[in-house]
A = this chain, B = another copy of it.
Amino acid sequence: MKSNTTAVHPLDAALALEPRGEHRWQGLAGPDWANMVGPFGGITAAQLLQACCLHPERQGQALALTVNFAAGVAEGEFEVEARPMRTTRSTQHWTMVLRQQGQVCTTGSAVFATRRQTWSAPELRMPAVPPAEAVAPERRMPPVNWPSRYEFRFVEGGWPDYRDASEQPDSRTVLWVRDEPPRALDAPALAAIADVFYPRIFRRRGRFTPAGTISLTTYFHADEAALAKQGSRPLLAVATGRRFTLGFFDQSAELWSDDGHLLASSHQVVYFKD
Segment at the interface with B among A108-116, A130-138, A173-181, A186-194: A108-116
A90 in contact (CB, < 8 A): yes
> Please, which residue of chain B has its CB at the minimum distance from the CB of A120?
B245
Residues of chain B lying within 8 A (CB to CB) of residue A1: none
Would you call A70 an interface residue if the criterion is a C-beta within 8 Å of the partner chain's C-beta atoms?
Answer: yes
Say whether A121 faces chain B, with CB atoms less than 8 Å apart.
Answer: yes
By secondary structure, the A interface counts as: strand
CB of B262 within 8 A of CB of A243, answer yes
Pick from B95, B115, B269: contact of A246, CB under 8 Å: B115
**Interface status of A73 (Cβ within 8 A of chain B):** no
With A and B bound together, what is the CA distance between A118 and B273 in angstroms? 7
User: Which of B109, B217, B262 interacts with A107 by CB under 8 Å?
Assistant: B109
**Is A44 interfacial (CB-CB < 8 Å)?**
no
CA distance A103 to B171 in the complex (A): 44
Q: List 11 A-B contacts (CB under 8 A).
A: A63-B215, A64-B215, A66-B215, A70-B93, A86-B103, A113-B247, A113-B271, A120-B245, A123-B170, A123-B200, A267-B267
